[in-house]
Amino acid sequence: MRKEDVDHSLYLVTDSTPAILGDKDICAVVEAALRGGVTCVQYRDKTSDTGALVATARRLHAITQRHDVPLLINDRIDVALAIGCEGVHIGQDDLDLSSARKLLGPDAIIGVTVSNAEETDVACKGGADYLGIGTVFATPTKENTKSIIGVDGLQQILLQIADEPIKTVCIGGINASNASRVMWQSEAPGGKGKALDGVAVVSAIMAAPDPEEASWDLLRLVRSPPAFARAAVTAEQQARSPEDLLALVPEVVRAVDAKKPLSHNMTNLVVQNFAANVALSVGASPIMANYGEEARDLAMLGGALVLNMGTVTPKGLENYLKALRAYNEAGRPVVFDPVGAGATAVRRAATKTILGSGYIDVLKGNQSEILSCIPGGAEVQQRGVDSSAPGNDADRQKLGSAIRELAVRRRNVVVMTGKTDYITAGRAVFTVDNGHAYLGMVTGTGCCLGTTVSAMVAAYPDDKLAAVVAGLLLYSIAAEVAAEREDVKGPGTFVPAFIDELFNLRKATAKGDLGWLERAR
Ligand code: 3NM
Ligand code: MG
């Protein structure tokens, strides 16, 4: 087999420890995995004596050869030479690349594990054939893994090697629940980076009750985009003008009115009642369900999920992750509101975990919350960028480019609220200047915007940018209209009037009365 022809889609790394292999025969497991479609095998055994290593490697090679799949040996160049297999995989603590190349010759496949920019650079310059990039997610399979790089770190490396003629797989905690998402999410912004060639797994196959079926399943997942990718904002949708988007607002609001979509809120203790009433006013069916086990069933009902981090607890976080997974698998929209994201270490960690564990269709927060979702965003914040200062063009530009980068990286829609609200899917940044000071004097108005947006994306999932713009305009204009009413004397009387006006504007829109939209700024 020529090394250019190697398919890295599903790369199996073996493990001989009882915790993973159990009492199964390694050759039987590898054979089953190959029947299931594994495209590359690495024999990794950190404990056996050299004689046993060579004997097992020989048996494995006979099997992989029958399936026309390369066999690589982890670390042990001597074993690879002894059995004459296709190559080796070396880690950062193993023999160096150029010595390995000297020993094995130009035709051998040599892969290198990398976890940062420098290691990647060295491996590419040294002529590695492929990179094993990791550790993506924490995994019990390998002891003392060095750094957990997440999908963000993976994307960074793929961007760095955009023009290198090298193959790539990622490794660490990859399984059927995340393989498809990691392949899609790691794709670098705007198609600028390298696409991952595949995933490398140990336990997802070696510890599976049925390795053949597990392999078959994983290969299918690696090769097909995840359910939510179908409805990501397209380049054409991004290219529209503010006027184009404004023209779609009535259609979005009417879609909510007609469909009464489910708005599934996992939200904080303070806003449950208010958020449910807001959902009803904009035309959605609210359910305030914080128990993750329910999410799978609820995700099937054609709605959207709001993850609001307002009251975060360890149990709550587990519930969020279950729900996130269920909605991602169903291809239904998820709105994430990282309430107080930068405020405490717990919230910073929870935000990172949520962002790393699934796909967020719409990320919504105030300036400090959104900036805490951006690597280096805290600095922008500390430099004193002030979104509440209208007319400061330099600040607007800085914030605009920060959130554009965030949306590009995450391939989603980002909404940053403030006196001016910013919306972007990575290309243009749209702003909304509607709203009223009372919104800032009543608790939960930010959270309820998340609920409103969830109703819009649930009813209009194929155009999330238009849906988000519609939600923001409906919400902030309803606040203006309510605040101007004669019966509204302050924040207290504002709340019921606001709920009324959300309802009134929706009903007016359904009837074709669009006067309120003339207020859009
Ligand atoms: N190398 P699982 S992580 C062998 O980060 C290995 O370099 C890693 O096992 C690295 O698929 C890892 O069971 C173990 O999570 C991956
Ligand atoms: Mg190693």
d(CA 90, CA 70): 16
Give the DSSP letter of residue 131: E
Closest ligand (CA of 208)? 1
Residues 201-240: pLDDT tens digits? 999 999 999 999 999 999 999 999 999 998 899 999 999 9
**Residue at which a domain ends, from 225, 247, 274:** 225
pLDDT at 191 over 80: no
Q: How confident is the model at residue 464 (pLDDT cuts 50, 70, 90)?
A: very high
Mutation test residue for ligand 1: of 40, 142, 147, the one with most atoms within 8 Å of CB: 142
From first CA to last CA, the distance across the chain in angstroms is: 63
- Is there an atom of ligand 1 within 6 Å of 201 CB? yes
Mean pLDDT along residues 422-428:
94
Q: Which residue has the higher pLDDT, 168 or 394?
A: 168
CATH of residue 486 = 3.40.1190.20
Q: Could you list the residue range(s) of the whole structural domain that residue 143 is in? A: 3-225
Report d(CA 239, CA 222) in Å as an integer: 30
Do 63 and 166 lie in a common domain?
yes
The answer to whether the CB of 206 is under 6 A from ligand 1 is: no
Q: State whether 131 and 237 are in the same domain.
A: no
Tens digits of residue pLDDT in 328-348: 999 999 999 999 998 889 999
Q: What is the pLDDT of residue 394?
A: 78
pLDDT of res. 391: 54
Cα–Cα distance for residue pair 103/127, rounded to 1 Å: 14
Predicted confidence at residue 387, as pLDDT, reads 46
Same domain, 210 and 239: no
Is residue 447 annotated as part of the catalytic site, yes or no?
Answer: yes
Looking at the CA of 13, name the nearest ligand. 1
Catalytic residue among 40, 85, 447, 448: 447
Task: Look at 365-379, 412-426, 462-476 and tell me which has the smallest mean pLDDT.
Answer: 365-379
- Cis before 113 (ω within 30): no
- 327 and 385 part of one domain: yes
pLDDT in tens, 249-283: 999 999 999 999 999 999 988 999 999 999 999 99
> Is residue 113 lining ligand 1, measured as CB closer than 6 Å?
yes
Does one domain contain both 217 and 360?
A: no
One domain, residues 289 and 348: yes
- Count of domains forming the chain: 2
How far is residue 148 from each of residues 170, 218, 341, measured CA to CA in Å? 12, 22, 21
**Which residue spans within 195-289 are E strands per DSSP?**
198-201, 262-266, 285-288
From residue 199, give the alpha-carbon distance in Å to each of 69, 82, 186, 205, 356.
Answer: 16, 28, 11, 12, 17
Given CA atoms 105, 107, 108, 111 in this order, what sign does their dihedral have? positive
Separation CA 276–CA 501 (nearest Å): 15
The finding on whether 202 has its CB within 6 A of some atom of ligand 1 is yes
Helix (H) or strand (E) holding 242: helix 242-259
Ligand 1 site, residue 171, Cβ cutoff 6 A: yes
Whether the predicted pLDDT of 370 surpasses 70: yes
Q: Is the pLDDT of residue 388 over 60?
A: no
Same domain for 337 and 191, yes or no, is no
- Do 68 and 189 share a domain, yes or no? yes
**What ligand 1 atom has the least distance to the C-alpha of 203?**
13
Distance between Cα 97 and ligand 2 center (Å) = 12
Same domain, 220 and 238: no
| Separation of CA 465 and ligand 2 centre (Å) | 45
Question: 68, 34 in Cβ contact below 8 A?
Answer: no
Domain endpoint, select from 191, 225, 259:
225
211 and 240 in a single domain? The answer is no
Do 175 and 322 sit in the same domain of this protein?
no
On whether both 219 and 251 belong to a single domain, the answer is: no
Q: Which of 202, 225, 248 is the last residue of a domain?
A: 225
Helix or strand or coil: residue 366? strand
pLDDT confidence bin for 310, thresholds 50/70/90: confident
Specify the residue with its C-alpha closest to ligand 1, atom 3: 172
Cα–Cα distances (Å) from 40 to 60, 290, 317, 453, in that order, read: 12, 42, 36, 44
Distance CA 225, CA 231 (A): 11
Is residue 378 within 8 A of residue 400, CB to CB? The reply is no
- The mean of the pLDDT values for the chain is 94
- Looking at residue 204, its pLDDT comes to 98
Question: How does residue 379 score in pLDDT terms, banded at 50, 70 and 90?
Answer: low
pLDDT at 378 over 70: no
ipTM at complex level? 0.96
Residue 315 tokens read as: 């149990």
- CATH of residue 196's domain is 3.20.20.70
Which among 131, 141, 221 is the best mutation to test ligand 1's pocket, defined by most ligand atoms within 8 Å of the CB? 141
Burial class, 340, CB count within 10 angstroms (exposed 0-12 / middle 13-18 / buried 19+): buried
CB distance 173 to ligand 1 below 6 Å: yes
Counting Cα atoms < 13 Å in the Cβ hemisphere of 109 gives 29
